[in-house]
Amino acid sequence: MLYIFDKDGTLVQDIDGKRPPNKLSEQKPIAGVLEKCQALIADGHLLAVASNQGGVAFGYITAAEAHEMVKQIADYIGATTYAVCVTHPNGKRKAARRESRFRKPDSGMIDYLMDAFGVLPSETVYIGDLGTDQQAAEAAGVKFIWAKDFFGWA
Ligand SMILES: [Mg+2]
């Protein structure tokens, strides 16, 4: 199976329970995530990360910083690759202010990753913490699991 994970609030902690990290030094993995992901890899599963990084469109972080943070947590969990979307329809930076089929709740990142691995929707699971994650999984035709259920958080 291909397990695709959302990043913020799924693999890494929100800052003060409110907002995603805006720099690498703020990014902290959620306890227990590594062990669960290592067990999946040991069982022969593939891992990837798919993350909206709309903060780039608002100018909170650069695209390079966003990619660096997604890559860091992808490497940490042993994911093979990752996908990022930095656009936002309300963004302040004109160049990134738009909708995108890659931006969740659309399915572009999940579609891309299934093509990147050559797997079917029936062989793919998406794990996330927001309604837009659930919608993206539904749009891609893959199974969705809430992060709290997948990782067994209280
Ligand atoms: Mg999230």
96 CA → ligand 1 middle, Å: 20
pLDDT of residue 145: 98
pLDDT of residue 107: 98
The residue extents of the domains of the chain are 2-151
11 CA → ligand 1 middle, Å: 8
pLDDT of residue 126: 98
pLDDT of residue 75: 98
pLDDT classification of 154: cutoffs 50, 70, 90 = confident
Quick one: what percent of the chain has pLDDT higher than 70? 100
DSSP string, the chain: -EEEE-SBTTTBPPBTTTB--SSGGG--BPTTHHHHHHHHHHTT-EEEEEEE-THHHHTSS-HHHHHHHHHHHHHHHT-SEEEEE---TT-SSGGG-S--TTSTTSSHHHHHHHHHHT--GGGEEEEESSHHHHHHHHHHT-EEEEHHHHHT--
pLDDT tens sequence across 121-146: 999 999 999 999 999 999 999 999 99
42 CA → ligand 1 middle, Å: 25
pLDDT classification of 17: cutoffs 50, 70, 90 = confident
Task: Specify whether domain 2-151 bears CATH 3.40.50.1000.
Answer: yes
19 CA → ligand 1 middle, Å: 10
27 CA → ligand 1 middle, Å: 13
pLDDT tens sequence across 18-58: 899 999 999 999 999 999 999 999 999 999 999 999 999 99
